[in-house]
Amino acid sequence: MKKRVKSADCPCGSGLLLSACCGPRLAGERPAETAEALMRSRYTAYALGDEAYLLATWHPSTRPDGLDLAADPVKWVGLSVESCTGGQAGDAEGRVCFVARYKAGGRAGRLAEDSRFLSEDGRWYYVDGEVG
């Protein structure tokens, strides 16, 4: 089940409107140009509950059979990109380190991850990540 956005700001923290940032990616209108853009759009998909986008952008070699975001009531409240290595147009792979803040069960938390991405046929895919 997708959540509704309360404002037009993109959840990824870019400072742009959703319609000018991750919205077209989630709608399938424009693929992510970089690994960071994909990571940001995947964060937005988690924040909005868009399981279909998450699965479609997960590399087939590590993609789960499904997700059940509704069973895990997490509210994603902020994203900070710490670093990017590779992941540009023309690169075959990239890494993005980020910190995502959330609230669950009335408690604040943070997820720090070093995510690995691959580009195949002009599309970026999330492969896996090291949580730290």
Residues of the chain with pLDDT under 70: 1-7
Look at residue 98 and tell me if it is in a domain: yes
Look at residue 42 and tell me if it is in a domain: yes
| CA dist., res. 85 & res. 94, Å (int) | 6
Q: What are the tokens at 7?
A: 């404002």
Residue 6 has what pLDDT? 44
Among 113, 52, 54, 47, smallest CA distance to 78 is for: 47
Look at residue 25 and tell me if it is in a domain: yes
Look at residue 10 and tell me if it is in a domain: no
Give the CATH number of the domain where residue 59 resides.
3.10.450.50
Say how many domains are in the chain. 1
Look at residue 89 and tell me if it is in a domain: yes
Q: What are the tokens at 44?
A: 């937005």
- For 78-113, the pLDDT digits (tens) are 999 999 999 999 999 999 999 999 999 899 999 999
The parent domain of residue 49 ranges over 18-131
**Token pair 């409107």 is at which residue?**
17
Look at residue 8 and tell me if it is in a domain: no
